[in-house]
């Protein structure tokens, strides 16, 4: 089954083409890495797939439904995109509880479990503003996986993480792969997530080309 | 967690309502009549300025301004955090807008219920008595306050997504004060000006300006044709138009382009 189908998609912002004639089909359950320099268009591509921007031309379908026409956003998606940020005066657990209360599909215990999976303590009484950069990033990853989404989009998930935390992210991605989630990862540091994906794509100046596994 | 959020919302409303205590206490001694509705009218009838001293307008709208400020960040609250976490869970931009509009309406309604309950308690302590004949006055006063305030806050909150809370609040403040000052200066000067005044949203809050209020005879001449029904229908039309316009803008524009918040 096709998870994502992008046809002839281009995006122009203020006269500048940031995505150029992208055609891409990704199968359900696969994991895909997009690499390229900063500004190459990886984040913009992820924004388009997550419904945060509309293509100037072409279309994006996620699990058969066209974004912007049939649905605003993919129906089952967890993502890290842009800057990580939560409510500063709530604890990590409380932050995820507020987000989980929007859809009501998981219990408090499942929220706690997702926090444990990223190496944080759900009983930690510290508020988010007292978290270190690495803890903030881990919490962001916990919010991605907590509702067991079918589509996972991770834009630079290993930013600000130490080696131990990067290993935890690798482990988490492997678990999500086993669960059958479709995973899209963007990274400019390819060492972090080396050999984790089924397919690789390179982005250069808003254009997409088949990439290769870095040895 | 939800309890913590509701408590925070309630405390916000309580803080806003507290500002109206000054008006309630002052009016305990200024109302000669012993009827509760007279006390309520005195508290919530709107701006009364003798002469053309518009500085009195600014003094009298202080509680409303504080309420506007307290509720000016309802839409942007979801942007304190990475807003994509919220939006992608709500699933649809339209659903999000509806949810936020309902949340804002509930906050305004709860606030005014609280203010009315406080007013009733003060009135009872002050020796005012309720009469069943004038119950509709309470309803009208409540409608005038909540409907116009909700509409203005809705527009300001939506604008805050693009231009930030501070700028949108400042614009609302200027619009609100200028509209009422215009009313004070040009009230009943000509039929055209009266028409413009009755179309301005802050006028709907002014019970005293309505031609079918029991105060109409006391207050010079009311705005001709500015009835409760006209006021409410006009506010409903304005709200529907603004809501549809906001929904279209939200749907058409890229979220990342639309939502700039304080960085605008």
Q: Which residues of A touch B85 (CB under 8 A)?
A: 86, 99, 143
Both A5 and A66 in a single domain? yes
Query: At residue A211, does pLDDT exceed 90?
Result: no
ipTM of the complex: 0.79
Identify the residue with better confidence: A91 or B60.
A91
Q: Indicate the residue among A91, A119, A147 that finishes a domain.
A: A147
The answer to whether the Cβ–Cβ distance between A72 and B256 falls below 8 Å is: no
User: How many angstroms separate the first and last alpha carbons of chain B?
Assistant: 32
Mean pLDDT computed over A6-22: 92
Both A162 and A204 in a single domain? yes
Residue of A nearest to B80 (CA): A87
Query: At residue B77, does pLDDT exceed 70?
Result: yes
Both A7 and A27 in a single domain? yes
Mean pLDDT computed over B62-84: 84
Both A60 and A155 in a single domain? yes
Distance (Å) from the C-alpha of residue A57 to the closest C-alpha of chain B? 14
Distance (Å) from the C-alpha of residue B7 to the closest C-alpha of chain A? 14
Both A10 and A45 in a single domain? yes
Question: B165-186 vs B135-163: helix axis angle to the nearest 10?
Answer: 130
Both A67 and A4 in a single domain? yes
Task: Report yes or no: A54 at the B interface, CB cutoff 8 Å.
Answer: yes
Name the domain count of chain A: 2
Task: Report yes or no: B90 at the A interface, CB cutoff 8 Å.
Answer: yes
State the DSSP code for B50. S
Q: Closest CB to B256: pick one of A53, A74, A83.
A: A53
Query: At residue B264, does pLDDT exceed 60?
Result: no
Tell me the torsion sign for CA atoms A151, A156, A159, A163.
positive
Q: Indicate the residue among A130, A147, A164 that finishes a domain.
A: A147
The domain locations on chain B are 1-258
What is the overall mean pLDDT for chain B? 86
Both A124 and A164 in a single domain? no
Residue A155's CATH number: 3.40.50.300
Both A161 and A70 in a single domain? yes
The answer to whether the Cβ–Cβ distance between B81 and A97 falls below 8 Å is: no
Both A98 and A121 in a single domain? yes
* Cα–Cα distances in angstroms (integers) from residue A105 to residues A141, A151, B96, in the given order: 18, 16, 18
**What's the pLDDT score for residue B32?**
78
Six token digits for residue B260: 């700039």
Question: What are the backbone dihedrals phi and psi of residue B140, each rounded to the nearest 5 degrees, phi first?
Answer: -65, -45
Collect all residues with Cβ–Cβ distance below 8 Å to A75 and sequence separation of at least 6: A62, A63, A65, B91
* Cα–Cα distances in angstroms (integers) from residue B197 to residues A125, A179, B55, B156, B189, in the given order: 54, 63, 19, 20, 11
Antiparallel, parallel or unpaired: β A207-210 and A57-62:
unpaired
Maximum average pLDDT range among A38-52, B64-78, B232-246: B232-246
**Residue range(s) defining the domain that contains residue A7:** 1-75+149-214
pLDDT tier at A5 (50, 70, 90 boundaries)? very high
* Cα–Cα distances in angstroms (integers) from residue B211 to residues B141, B222, B238, in the given order: 14, 5, 21
Residue of A nearest to B82 (CA): A85
**CA B188 to chain CA mean position, Å:** 24
Q: What is the pLDDT of residues B209-256, one digit of tens each?
A: 888 877 766 666 678 888 989 999 999 999 999 999 999 998 888 877
**What's the pLDDT score for residue B210?**
87
Both A194 and A156 in a single domain? yes
Both A34 and A64 in a single domain? yes
Both A105 and A127 in a single domain? yes
């Amino acid at each position: 089954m096709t998870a994502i189908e992008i046809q002839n998609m281009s995006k122009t912002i203020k006269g500048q083409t940031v995505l150029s004639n992208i055609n891409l089909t990704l199968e359900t359950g696969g994991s895909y890495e997009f690499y390229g320099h900063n500004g190459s268009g990886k984040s913009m591509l992820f924004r388009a797939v997550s419904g945060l921007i509309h293509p100037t031309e072409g279309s994006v379908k996620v699990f058969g439904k066209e974004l912007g026409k049939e649905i605003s956003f993919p129906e089952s998606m967890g993502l890290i995109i842009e800057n990580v940020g939560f409510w500063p005066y709530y604890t990590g657990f409380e932050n995820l509880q507020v987000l989980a209360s929007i859809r009501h599909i998981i219990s408090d215990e499942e929220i706690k479990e997702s926090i444990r999976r990223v190496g944080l303590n759900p009983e930690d009484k510290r508020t988010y503003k007292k978290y270190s950069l690495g803890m903030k990033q881990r919490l962001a990853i916990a919010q991605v996986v907590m509702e067991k989404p079918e589509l996972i989009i991770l834009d630079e998930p290993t930013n600000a993480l130490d080696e131990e935390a990067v290993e935890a992210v690798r482990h988490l991605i492997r678990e999500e792969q086993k669960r059958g989630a479709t995973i899209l990862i963007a990274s400019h540091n390819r060492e972090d997530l080396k050999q984790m994906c089924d397919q690789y794509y390179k982005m250069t100046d808003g254009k997409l080309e088949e990439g290769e596994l870095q040895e | 967690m939800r309890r913590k959020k509701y408590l925070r919302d309630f405390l916000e409303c309580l803080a806003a309502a507290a500002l109206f205590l000054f008006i309630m206490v002052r009016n305990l001694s200024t109302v000669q009549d012993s009827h509760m509705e007279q006390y309520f009218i005195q508290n919530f009838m709107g701006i009364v300025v003798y002469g053309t001293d518009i500085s009195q307008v600014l003094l009298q709208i202080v509680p409303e301004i504080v309420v506007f400020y307290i509720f000016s960040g309802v839409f942007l609250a979801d942007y304190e955090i990475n807003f994509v976490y919220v939006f992608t869970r709500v699933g649809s931009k339209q659903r999000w807008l509806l949810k936020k509009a309902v949340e804002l309406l509930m906050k305004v309604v709860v606030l005014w219920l609280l203010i009315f309950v406080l007013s009733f308690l003060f009135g009872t302590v002050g020796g005012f008595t309720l009469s069943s004949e004038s119950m509709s006055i309470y309803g009208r006063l409540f409608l005038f306050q909540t409907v116009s305030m909700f509409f203005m806050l809705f527009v300001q909150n939506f604008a805050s997504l693009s231009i930030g809370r501070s700028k949108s609040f400042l614009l609302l403040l200027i619009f609100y004060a200028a509209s009422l000052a215009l009313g004070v200066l040009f009230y009943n000067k000509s039929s055209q000006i009266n028409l413009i005044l009755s179309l301005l949203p802050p006028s709907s809050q002014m019970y005293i300006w309505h031609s079918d209020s029991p105060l109409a005879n006391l207050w010079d001449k009311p705005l001709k044709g500015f009835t409760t029904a006209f006021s409410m229908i006009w506010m409903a039309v304005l709200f529907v138009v603004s809501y549809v316009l906001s929904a279209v803008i939200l749907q058409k524009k890229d979220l990342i382009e639309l939502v700039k918040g304080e960085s605008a």
